[in-house]
Amino acid sequence: MGKRGWAKLAKYAGLVILLILFGVLVTINKSNQCCSPDKPPQGAITNTNTAVPLAGQVDNPLAIALKSGQPVVADFGRGTCIPCKMMKPILDELKATYKGRAEVFIFDIDEYSDLTEQYGINLIPTQIFFDKAGKEVMRHEGFFPKEEIVNKLKELGVN
């Protein structure tokens, strides 16, 4: 094979490598930002019931919590979403740690579709922070590290 043949082969090999890298980057991006609430991933099991309503308050536990006089963190997600799965143990730990000082909820967007629509959730996971008066003060989309959630709770007066 002459110089021209090798140059042509190298050009095509470079193009193939670029396409593979692009595919890898797209895959990584999709796993970081799971999906929109309207379109579950193909083959998804959607009824995961990650939010446990308070006894006797099946309709809207968030509305009740917002009247509690405590800051509230509401996480909207789906049990099949990778970043949502990563958030669950963090939120479960914070719920136990801040019991009696703040309310922490995990709402499955399929189980609580009315709340999902009411709060305009466009991407999961989405965390919404409410102050003691029940006013939304911050919204975050995607994975949110524990330290940043703790800092936000401190800003809201939770020790």
Q: Which residues are catalytic?
A: 81, 84
Question: Cα 54 from chain centroid?
Answer: 22
Q: Which residues contact 4 (CB under 8 A, 6 or more apart)?
A: none
* Contact predicate 157/137, CB 8 Å: no
User: Is the alpha carbon torsion for 122, 125, 126, 128 positive or negative?
Assistant: positive
CB atoms near residue 39 (< 10 Å): 8
Which residue, 120, 139, 137, 116, is CA-closest to 62?
Answer: 116
